[in-house]
Amino acid sequence: METKVNEKMREKFNELYVGFSKLNREERLRRLVKMGALSVDDVGFLNAGSPMDIDLAEKFIENVIGYFPMSLGVATNFVIDQKPYIIPMAVEETSIIAAASKTAKWLREKGQIETEIFGTDILGQIQLAVVKDFLAFKSKIQVYKEQLIIQANKDVAAGLVRRGGGVNDIEIRHIKRPDGKDMAVVHVLANPCDAMGANIMNQICEYLKPKIENLTGEVVTMCILSNLVDSKVTRAKITVNQVDPELAEKIEEGSLFSQLDPYRAATSNKGVLNGIDPILIATGNDWRAVEAGIHAYAAKSGMYKSISKWKREGSRLVGIFEAPIVLGVVGGVTQLHPIAKMSLRMMGIESANELSRVCAAVGLATNLGAIRALTTVGIIEGHMKLHIQNLTLGAGAKEKEIPIVQKKLEEILLMTKRISLHNAIDVLRELRDGQVTNAHQETQV
Ligand code: MEV
């Protein structure tokens, strides 16, 4: 049944994707309504310039003076676990959405994206900077562990327990201090269900603090959740079939570089986050927490590495992303901010785990697009082609004029290594006047 629904949706989306990137904004919005991704009210809201209630801003942060508007676009062609998605992305960088959509089209035609989540629990930490007797501390907590869990679930996490979550475990870690003394860290593991869980986890840890102190006679220093959530890890796997062996080899080599060299790993991971952060922003999620978790997880072997890995398997190319992406789809900004609500609706997101899987998939696809470009045409060509396309449209070129203006802009770029909207406007004007000459330039390549 589920597969039939997805199949029908995929057919409908495929039809409506045709020529999507060439449409103007009005036409794009109409297509999104046809796809069922946007409602007529959403379109009204977007056409009105996404007006935001200033009183709402006061609910989010302090010392409010206004809103910061950012472009909101959609990445097309994504099919993740058989389900087609329109991906809302709020981002300031050119090319990310185009590259993601282009890679997703390649995968829609020649591959697949599968995702999984391992584990359910997020992590909270209770630090005891110096314990007098670590072993006595550990055994006391172990004896009373079940009781502490029951109490926390009753007094603080009852709401989570009702929704199928709550505190599941307590673990003790030992850290040797530089001065030779013993530090103890209590890890609290809890399932936050569809919430990101930072607040509830901090409440649980602070609730347990006096209980732990009374039980053990030791002193708690601080309580806070950890963003290195290795107890709940999201995995995306991309398979591309029948890949040109030369291309597959280049991508594998590019990936190896980011596995072996932290300098390259940082940039490669930035490319993965190019696909993840814009979704987090569009859905009102805490991207700093996710970034921190992903970078920390990338260094879990002791060396900072790429969070993704690409390998050839026969004629196929297989990529894996694995890292914590702990998100919320209930509570806070996700349900108060009209664009966050619209973004979740647009994707038909039903749970925090589904959103996490979508982010992992888009991040891995974005990474694939970047390595493919870097190991073939290079980054400038990809960026500039799109830039020229945007400038041509931005200057107002009509269908027949587009290829001529683009060609002339490519020539200017080749000669001067710079290109700007002024160039496009000048070229278009000169084309209409029956003459084409170079104009002044602005943006440095
Ligand atoms: C630019 O935003 C992202 C890339 O640098 C990623 C990468 O190098 O893999 C192209």
Residues 60-117 pLDDT 10s: 999 999 999 999 999 999 999 999 999 999 999 988 999 999 999 999 999 999 999 9
pTM of the model: 0.88
Residue where a domain stops, chosen among 189, 204, 226: 226
- pLDDT of residue 445 exceeding 50, the answer is no
Report which protein residue has its CA nearest ligand 1's atom 10: 370
CATH number for the domain spanning 209: value is: 3.30.70.420
Q: Ligand 1 atom 6: the closest Cα is on which residue? A: 271
Atom 2, ligand 1: residue with shortest CA distance: 271
CA of 73 to the centre of ligand 1 (A): 19
Domain total in the chain:
3
Rounded Cα distance between 203 and 125, Å, is: 11
Q: With contact defined as beta carbons under 8 Å apart, do 326 and 229 qualify?
A: yes
212 CA → ligand 1 middle, Å = 47
Whole-number pLDDT of residue 382? 67
Model confidence pLDDT, tens digit, residues 366-422: 999 999 999 997 777 767 777 888 899 999 999 899 999 999 999 998 888 788 999
Domain stop point among 226, 243, 259: 226
Please say which residue of 201, 226, 251 terminates a domain.
Answer: 226
Q: With a cut of 70, say whether residue 32 has pLDDT above it.
A: yes
Give the nearest ligand 1 atom to 371 CA. 9
- Residue 268 CA to ligand 1 centre (angstroms): 6
Domain of residue 395, CATH code: 1.10.8
Residues 159 and 277 in one domain: no
Instruction: Pick the atom of ligand 1 nearest to 379's CA.
Output: 10
Q: Are residues 173 and 186 in the same domain?
A: yes
Whether 258 and 219 map to the same domain: the answer is no
Give yes or no: residues 182 and 265 share one domain: no
User: Based on the domain organization, do 33 and 152 belong to the same domain?
Assistant: no
So which residues are the catalytic ones? 93, 270, 286, 383
Contacts of 190 (CB under 8 A, 6+ apart): 121, 122, 124, 157, 160, 165, 166, 167, 168, 197, 200, 201, 204
Q: Are residues 356 and 411 in the same domain?
A: no
Q: Please indicate, yes or no, whether residues 261 and 333 belong to a single structural domain of this protein.
A: yes
Kindly list the protein residues whose Cβ atom lies closer than 6 A to any atom of ligand 1: 93, 267-268, 270-271, 274, 370-371, 374, 379
Q: Return the percentage of the chain with pLDDT > 90, whole number.
A: 87
Written in H, E and C, the secondary structure of 361-425 is: HHHHHHHHHHHHHHCCCCHHHHHHHHHHHHHHHHHCCCCCCHHHHHHHHHHHHHHHCEECHHHHH
Joined together, the tokens standing for residue 367 give 């990474």
pLDDT at 379: 75
Amino acid at position 122, single letter: I
Question: 177 and 274 share a domain?
Answer: no
Task: Say what percent of the chain tops pLDDT 70.
Answer: 97
Q: Are 323 and 395 found together in one domain?
A: no
pLDDT category, 441, cuts 50, 70, 90?
Answer: very low
Locate the ligand 1 atom nearest the alpha carbon of residue 93 and give its number: 2
Per-residue confidence (pLDDT) for residue 2, from 0 to 100: 60
Nearest-CA residue for atom 3 of ligand 1: 271
Please write the tens of the pLDDT for every residue from 299-346.
999 999 999 999 999 999 999 999 999 999 998 888 899 999 999 999
Which domain CATH number covers 344?
A: 3.90.770.10
Domain that holds residue 260: 2-118+232-376
Which mutation among 96, 261, 267, 364 tests ligand 1's pocket best, with the greatest number of atoms within 8 A of CB?
A: 267
